[in-house]
Chains A and B, each alone.
Chain A
């Protein structure tokens, strides 16, 4: 479904180019929970942004269902690590309605219905009318996930969505995400630097090395264990 072939990404000024990833290749299949695992500085977030369409590769190509990715679009919805991804001037429900109406996925009455349905899925019904700043970090991330799910995108792009949460909430959110995946079978591309998170979430795991990010290995969930990933990540 998603094909990433020989992708090299660079950012920075003209005379100070940083190569984020170097000739990375992988494929994501329908309803995969594809995890990109790597140490900080391996360009995994940049890679995700390229799939999102925010950055163009300097080499190689990225395509979704055969069509090359050129710009951000609502068929690939992002969930960021930052808590301020919710529009602070809209309630939880209005945030979702905004996403649906702005992208033309649904009109008002239907958008509200879909919003409430997804809010219920992430167990935020009581807080549908709350403004984001009144929510805890975990609730904000849930709201962001609800917004992304409501869009029913081809792919969900998650950029360390639980990294800024406390350990307990993080584990709980991982469980909930897995449950949601079981229910709706959506395709996720998930970026993380946490080995345990990769093992818990992923059906497949891509391991990247640092500076610049290059593919170390691609593993199925069954072949992943902590020691193996540790070795892949930290061996020179």
Chain B
């Protein structure tokens, strides 16, 4: 049996258990049925509420992710070029990597106020260390032979970085991107749950929080479902595709 089919069966069974348990419990405020959740999900899509919240979340996430990547690139370049840069990166990563980004939210709120700025700040923190650390260690792990080959063919400094170091370190870089994404996604939803409304629009986390306040529990479930779906799409579709086209094809998985 193909694994897609097996997984579909597992999903169906889970949905059935959910439905049966919810009907037996018969308390839609605590635990709505699967059918109700799906209905609420589609209703929220049709009404445009859920797509709007999702778009808001995604664009915020992209801003934070890209900004985090840019800073990580700078930091890694500095670390690869100088000893002091390397020491700085190692110390900063050791300090900040264990610190959950969400813990910085209260401070960010004081610094940047209520709004996108604070969320982007915690997102950058979520992405930066994972990406910088993985990229840097990836660069250092590029084999001496490949380095010598790069020098042999008379590459310029920039050519050496873009054509030898970056592809050579790509398995680690990709790991960094994945971990950074996972941190950022979880941080963002959490941050939005705490607060997320600015200029009249909120993201998925805020949507979930608001629906709970109005005791629209099927909608809460629909919101959670959306969060899961996006996570699945990015982690299993986008990153899996990149992986298949690069490190897997090159036989370079770590």
Question: Which residues of A are at the interface with B, using a C-beta cutoff of 8 A?
Answer: 52, 54, 71-74, 76-78, 80, 82, 84-85, 87-89, 98-99, 102-104, 131-134, 151
Given A73-B154, A80-B148, A102-B153, A88 and B159 contact (CB-CB distance below 8 Å): no
* Chain B interface helix/strand/loop/mixed: helix
B163 partner residues in chain A, CB cutoff 8 A: 98, 102
Nearest residue, chain A, Cβ from B167:
A89
- B side interface size, CB within 8 A: 21
A84 touching B250 by the CB < 8 A rule? Answer: no
A151 to chain B, nearest CB (A): 8
A72 to chain B, nearest CB (A): 4
Q: Is B97 an interface residue (CB 8 A)?
A: no
Q: Select the residue from B152, B153, B168 with max chain A CB neighbours within 10 A.
A: B152
Per-position 1/0 for B143-173, Cβ under 8 A of A:
1011011011111000100011001101000
B159 partner residues in chain A, CB cutoff 8 A: 102
Q: Is B80 an interface residue (CB 8 A)?
A: no
Q: Which residues of chain B from 52 to 80 have a CB within 8 Å of any chain A CB?
A: none
A52 to B159, CA, bound (A): 20
Q: Is B252 an interface residue (CB 8 A)?
A: yes
Q: Which 8 A-B pairs have the closest CB atoms?
A: A133-B251, A72-B151, A82-B145, A102-B153, A89-B167, A103-B153, A89-B250, A103-B154
B185 to chain A, nearest CB (A): 28
Q: Is B249 an interface residue (CB 8 A)?
A: yes
A85 to B143, CA, bound (A): 9
A78 to B170, CA, bound (A): 24
Q: Is B246 an interface residue (CB 8 A)?
A: yes
A151 to B251, CA, bound (A): 26
A76 to B153, CA, bound (A): 9
A85 partner residues in chain B, CB cutoff 8 A: 145-146, 149
A101 to B251, CA, bound (A): 24
A54 touching B170 by the CB < 8 A rule? Answer: no
A84 touching B152 by the CB < 8 A rule? Answer: no
Query: Which of B143, B153, B155, B246 meets A89, CB within 8 Å?
Result: B246
